[in-house]
Amino acid sequence: MPAKVYSDKDADLSVLKNKTLAILGFGSQGHAHALNLKDSGLNVIIGLYEGSKSIPVAQEKGFEVVRTAEAVRRADVIMVAIPDTKQPAAYDKDIAPNLTKGKALLFSHGFSIHFKTIIPAKNVDVILVAPKGPGHIVRRQYAEGKGVPALIAVYQNPSKQAKKIALAWAKGIGGTRAGVIETTFKEETETDLFGEQTVLCGGVTALILAGYETLVEAGYQPEMAYFECLHELKLIVDLINEAGVSGMRFSVSETAKWGDVSVGPKIIDASVKKRMKAALKDVQSGKFAKGWVQEYQGGYKKYQALLKAGEKHPIEQVGTRLRSLMPWMKKHSVKGVQAAY
């Protein structure tokens, strides 16, 4: 049976009226949920730790910012918008001691609950509202009158209101404008990790770099390689996003279509799928989560080194120069988007 897709008419924002909503963290997800909920007419406060660099950012957007523990004390619904690896310490120190009966704890990714790095108190609702998109796009689309599709899940429900709260929250951030599906913490966590590793973030960036390097190493101009393998990707993906794979094929030339169907599957072949299955297994078994928590505990050394190496790739210099020639990119640049809204 196809999954039920909830829309605006299935969600009642009044469930959250007269309640205090606390967002702990004001980063990618936190700022988007906070601003969208505020614009939906709800009462939002921000919880941050002493000295957080996000404090002035949230204050500048007109939010009341209090310490994490106080935000938990004052709120009825508490969203944990802190990085996954840092959530357990914040839970033990600031959240758990103030999480009294009847409150609801809300996540936008199921990592901590599913992998049990947080064992929540039994007398609170534990819910998930996970937009299927990066935080800055969740904000941008809401401001444009659109919405990013979202998932909801209920892990525990002592109030018997958990699903209503999750649906109302999803409506408040614009998710029900696009469509909301109910899932479980397990399914959301495993599919989200698999997707970001193998297709969305990991897979697509590795594909771009491999294509760029192949062209540059063969003597083509780096600017050509950038336009071909990075810039144009969005234009093609927009078509796929709007009309599906076959819809995209409708727009490209016959020659492109033939190259697509005859060469593509030789590049992304059965060996890729085999490695995808291995990556999925590591997600399901908890091996990936364990390694990531260890990486955090060891001070993020490998993580930082790999990110730095990525920043040094020649495609970044070429891209910075070419994007600076397209003024509309600046208006929408993700790094500047918090300031823009």
Ligand X SMILES: NC(=O)c1ccc[n+]([C@@H]2O[C@H](COP(=O)([O-])OP(=O)(O)OC[C@H]3O[C@@H](n4cnc5c(N)ncnc54)[C@H](OP(=O)(O)O)[C@@H]3O)[C@@H](O)[C@H]2O)c1
Structure tokens given for 73: 């004390």
User: Torsion angle, CA of 139/142/147/152, rounded to 10 degrees?
Assistant: 60
Question: How far, in Å, are 14, 21, 47 from residue 169 at the CA level?
Answer: 10, 10, 18
Binding mask 123-162 for ligand X (x = CB under 6 A): -------x---xx---------------------------
Is 49 a binding residue for ligand X by CB under 6 A? The answer is: yes
Minimum distance from residue 61 beta carbon to ligand X (Å): 12
Minimum distance from residue 9 beta carbon to ligand X (Å): 25
The catalytic residues are: 109
Taking CB under 5 A as the criterion, which residues in 81-120 touch Mg ion? none
Residue 29 interacts with which of ligand X, Mg ion, none, CB < 5 to 8 Å by class: ligand X
Strand partners, 80: 24, 107
**Residues 228, 235 contacting (CB under 8 angstroms):** no
Residue 86 interacts with which of Mg ion, ligand X, none, CB < 5 to 8 Å by class: ligand X
* Closer of 96 and 137 to Mg ion (Cβ): 137
Minimum distance from residue 327 beta carbon to ligand X (Å): 26
Is 47 a binding residue for ligand X by CB under 6 A? The answer is: yes
Q: Which of 4, 53, 274, 308 binds ligand X (CB under 6 A)?
A: 53
Binding mask 54-93 for ligand X (x = CB under 6 A): x-------------x------------xxxx-x---x---
Is 108 a binding residue for ligand X by CB under 6 A? The answer is: yes
Taking residue 218's Cβ as centre, other Cβ atoms within 10 Å add up to 8
User: Torsion angle, CA of 23/26/29/35, rounded to 10 degrees?
Assistant: 70
Among the candidate windows 152-160, 174-182, 194-202, 236-244, which touches Mg ion by CB under 5 A?
A: 194-202
Nearest by Cα to 72 from 112, 105, 120: 105
Binding mask 140-179 for Mg ion (x = CB under 5 A): ----------------------------------------
Minimum distance from residue 225 beta carbon to ligand X (Å): 28
The amino acid sitting at 164 is K
Minimum distance from residue 109 beta carbon to Mg ion (Å): 5
**Residues 318, 222 contacting (CB under 8 angstroms):** yes
Is 192 a binding residue for Mg ion by CB under 5 A? The answer is: yes
Where are the alpha helices (H) located in the chain, listed in sequence order?
Answer: 28-39, 55-60, 68-74, 87-90, 111-114, 135-143, 162-172, 175-178, 185-195, 202-217, 222-226, 232-251, 254-267, 270-285, 287-297, 301-312, 314-324, 327-331, 334-340
- CA–CA dist 261, 255 (Å, integer): 10
Structure tokens given for 197: 């590793």
Minimum distance from residue 192 beta carbon to Mg ion (Å): 4
Task: Give the residues lining the site for ligand X (CB under 6 A).
Answer: 24-30, 47-49, 52-54, 68, 81-84, 86, 90, 108-109, 130, 134-135
Task: Give the residues lining the site for Mg ion (CB under 5 A).
Answer: 192, 196
